[in-house]
Structure 1
Amino acid sequence: MAAAARDLIFPASLLDTDLYKFTMQQAVLQHFPRVEGTYKFTHRDKNVYFTRECFDHFKRSVVQFDKIALTKDERAWLEDRCPYFTPQYLDYLEAYRFKPDQLRLEFEPIPEDVEKNANGDLGARGHVHIDAVGPWEETILWEVPLMACLSEIYFTTTDTDWDYEGQEEAAYEKAATLLKAGCVFSEFGTRRRRSYRTQRLVMEAILKAAQDHPGSGGVNGTSNMHFAKEFGVAPVGTIAHEWFMGVGALRGYEHANATALELWEKTYPNVLQIALTDTFSTEAFYKDFIANPHFAQQWTGLRQDSGDPFIYAPRAKQVYEQLGVDYTKKVIIFSDALNVEKALKLKKQCDELGFKCSFGIGTSLSNDFTKKSSGGKEKSKALNMVIKLSSVDGKPTVKISDEITKNTGDRETVRLVKKIFQIPITDQDQTVQ
């Protein structure tokens, strides 16, 4: 993997992405083949700018994505470690190639740098616009590697006030603290990693900590398939918001959560059954969950990814008890902006309630740096970016998060979905047009 700004940066392999992209791709192929799916990039921090040099470097890199292909060795590993993938799907994946012509890339200079940009100045600052347009089963794989690529290029061209000193030791200490407290966690850092090298250092450090601190805690694995294979650990992941978003747009919103779970079960009848609850708000999810007790009985547990995590387990306990389901046999996976301190507090709460829990920890492991010029006193912030499904079959998709500032989607569709689920409409609703 390249570290110098002059080199192209792209995934180490087709597996250098998160497991849930593949699990969802197989489900899309089964239920919604050849439906067009559009993905849109959003950088939430409008006061942080990319440079023209960064954008040009990114464009040159993504054009090379079509050279990436699943190898025979990687296919054999998938057959062994992921038996829920069918031979037909693995045939598809082996033939899959990224199609760079599906990407719409634009650099929009800020007003004060318009003239610099027109003169070809690589230091001109601006915003980056990225769309991926094509069949949903194809465009679904763009999200994670595009974000990882852009992040690494940004931090080798635009923000270079950092270095790797102390990174491995810091990751080791975080992992050791979690393990000694009995926490079970997975590495979830691919999308916003500072670099490929950073994620490798993190994996080495947390696995060394797991060796040094055996006990009640543990490292479940990593969401990154490439590193799971390389380090001999379990690939971890199930479903992301885009599955519920796409199902809602295509099949209707009123019972979108139930429909999404039902379709998922048809693809994965006895595995990968951790339900993500907050696509249209967790309370909207619970309406379908309560109306269909089968899901509470059958599915392994729930994933919390937005809102106040400390109200999540007590509320889940109420719901399971209302349905007569033993919640102590279920698990909650917390995955929203976690750090060690928050994970320890959530572990304590779940222990007191009798809930099993685990943690998916991303950016605080794979992109936790300080500015070199500050002597380690000031944070070097990760990019606050997402790539979300914005439409399927020409229909806009939305996400109504438990965290109001994370709501995304077409304005009118957001209003429609909020009305369906009786969620107040506020001035703070974000829109992605």
Structure 2
Amino acid sequence: MDKGFVQFSSLLDNDFYKFTMQHAVIRLFPKAKARYKFINRGKDAFPPGFAEALRQSVEAMCKLKLTIEEKEYLRITCPYLAPTYLDFLQGYCYNPDEVSIEQDGERLSISIEGYWYRTILWEIPLLSLVSELFYGMKGQLRNNDKEVIQITKEKIKKYAELGVTVAEFGTRRRHSYKVHQLVVQALKEYGENSFVGSSNVHLAMTNDVKPIGTHAHEWFMFHAAQYGFKMANSLGLEHWTEVYEGDLGIALTDTYTTKVFYKQFDKKFAKLFDGVRHDSGDAIEFAEQTIKHYQKLGIDPLSKTIIFSDALNYDKVARIADYCRGKIGMSFGIGTNLTNDVGLQPMNIVIKMVEAFPEGDEWIPVVKLSDEKGKYTGDEKMIHLAKTILNIPE
């Protein structure tokens, strides 16, 4: 890689849930629009010329095309994706005009705007571009393949000894594509029965492992803009089942706090969905709350699964596994700790939907009220309104 330029090699170098959501958006909300913004949680200082280098990398994205081989892979691996969607994806190309990039000293601003079915694919590639460019321009790229492989090998062996299953979720904050590729290869080689797949579709395909993912917070955030906060969770779930009919059955709980979610995650949804994903707040409290919810509905928690995915490392996984074992099914999606463990401080960056434009409406601010207050995102007035409507205490 030229330290001022990063180029993607595949349209599928993205998280699986972006494609599954895109498929659903095309079917249900083809005229909706969305706006996203970059949030630099870690307050990293960007070097001079960063915006220009990022713009160059973004411009190159328009050259990516779904190959015939990739389309056939999706057709066979993901039968729930409609043939019409695969045809659409074969004709899809990124439009760099949807992305605005500015730099003011060491501060970086990125915004995305356009039809939701198009702009939904930008988030993950942009974050990985920012991360790899940042390390490249600071001269901090890592080329010790053996060290990356050895670190990953040791980690997956320890997870196997714990008796847990692990998926790789680290595209968005990876140190580089090369490190990411080495990590997935090592997980596949040494993971035995512990490594179950990757959220990155391209690397899942090239390593012959399962692509993993369902939906993200923006799915429910948009539903709040379209239908109101009271209906966002229930209609988000209803529409998901309308498209996927029971496939891709892991529900994300914390867009408006898990407590609110479980008020609407009734017996029908609890039976239809295979489980839930934990993404914020205390993992043990979440597991306890989830187990009690299933028990209250007369459902055996051991027939369901929690996917834990919040900033995991070995110690956290061991603590969670010790609590959940024999009580409820579990699996772990590990991101940055796998794809950016190279002796540097990983970046803490996100891109979030900030406004939605439902069909026949106007631009409406959207918010996320996770189980960790520090992770609230969005317009302050709208956050207050959501908390008032949903009876979430200050």
1:191 aligned residue: 172
The alpha carbon displacement at 1:273 in A equals: 1.0
Give the number of equivalent residue pairs: 388
In the alignment, the residues of structure 2 paired with residue 421 and residue 158 of structure 1 have an alpha-carbon distance, to the nearest angstrom, of 45
Is 1:31 matched up with 2:28? yes
Q: Secondary structure at the match of 1:41?
A: strand
The one-letter amino acid of 1:45's match is G
Cα deviation, residue 369, structure 1: 2.1
In the aligned structure 2, how far is the partner of 1:329 from the partner of 1:159?
49
Residues 347-386 of structure 1 aligned to structure 2 (within 5 Å): 347-352=321-326, 354-370=327-343, 380-386=344-350
| Contact 1:10–1:145 (CA under 8 A) maintained in structure 2 | no
Partner of 2:136: 156
Structure 2 residue corresponding to 1:40, chosen from 37, 47, 52: 37
Q: How does 1:193-272 map to 2 (within 5 A)?
A: 193-211=174-192, 217-272=193-248
Offset, 1:11: 2.0
1:50 touches 1:158 (CA, 8 Å); kept in 2? no
Give yes or no for the alignment of 1:86 onto 2:82.
Answer: yes
Distance in 1, matches of 2:336 and 2:48, equals 25
Equivalent residues in 2 for 1:292-307, closer than 5 Å: 292-307=266-281
> After superposition, where does 1:172-191 map in structure 2 within 5 Å?
172-191=153-172
CA 26–13 in structure 1, closer or farther in 2 if over 3 Å, else same? same
- Is the contact made by 2:3 and 2:139 (CA closer than 8 Å) also made in structure 1? no
Q: Does the alignment pair 1:286 with 2:262? A: yes
Distance 1:343 1:102, change over 3 A: same
1:42-57 matches, within 5 Å, as 42-46=39-43, 48-57=44-53
Q: Which amino acid aligns with 1:166?
A: E
SS of 2:219's partner is helix
Matched residue, 1:117: none
Report the equivalent of 1:5.
3
SS in structure 2 opposite 1:255? helix
What is the TM-score normalised by the length of structure 1? 0.88
Q: How far did residue 160 of structure 1 move?
A: 2.0
**1:379-412 CA distances to partner (integer Å, 9 max, x unpaired)?**
x211100001111101111000101111000111
1:141-199 per-residue CA deviation (whole Å, 9 max, x = no partner) reads 00000111111010010262865362210111000100121110101110100000011
Considering only aligned residues, what root-mean-square deviation do their CA atoms show, in Å? 1.2
- Give the equivalent residue in structure 1 for 2:121: 141
Mapped partners of 1:301, 1:276: distance in 2: 9
3-state DSSP class of the match of 1:318?
helix
1:390 aligns with 2:354: yes
2:249 to 247, 262, 273: 273
In the alignment, residue 168 of structure 1 is paired with which amino acid? Answer: I
Residue by residue, what CA displacement relative to the aligned partner does 1:260-285 show, whole Å, maximum 9, x if unpaired?
Answer: 00000011002001010000000010
Report the residue type matching 1:142 in the other structure: W
User: What's the offset of the Cα at 1:45?
Assistant: 1.9
CA contact (8 A) 2:124 2:172 kept: yes
Identity %: 40
Q: Secondary structure at the match of 1:128?
A: strand
Any conservation in 2 of the 1:38–1:133 contact (CA below 8 Å)?
yes
Question: Residues 54-77 of structure 1, C-alpha deviation per residue, up to 9 Å, x if partnerless?
Answer: 222111111111000101111011
DSSP-derived class of the 1:279 partner = coil
Matched, 1:326 2:297: no
State the partner residue of 1:345.
Answer: 319
1:39 deviates by 1.1
Q: Could you say what secondary structure the match of 1:260 adopts?
A: helix
> Residue 360 of structure 2 aligns with which residue?
none
2:6 alignment partner AA: I
**Distance in 2 of aligned mates of 1:36 and 1:232:** 35
Q: Give the SS at the match of 2:325.
A: helix
8 Å CA contact 2:156–2:194 kept in 1: the answer is no
Tell me, which stretches of 5 or more residues in structure 2 are unaligned?
Answer: 358-362
Give TM-score, length-normalised by structure 2.
Answer: 0.96
In 2, Cα distance between equivalents of 1:273 and 1:395:
29
How far has the Cα of 1:204 moved from its partner? Answer: 1.5
Q: Name the larger-Rg structure.
A: 1
Distance, in Å, in 2 between the alignment partners of 1:20 and 1:10 is: 22
Structure 1 residue runs of 4+, over 3 Å off? 161-165
Residues in 2 aligned to 1:206 and 1:86: alpha-carbon distance in whole angstroms: 31
Query: Which 5+ residue runs of structure 1 have no aligned equivalent?
Result: 110-125, 212-216, 371-379, 426-433
- 1:132 is aligned to 112
Asked if the contact 1:53–1:157 (Cα under 8 Å) also holds between the matched residues in 2, the reply is no
Q: Which amino acid aligns with 2:73?
A: W
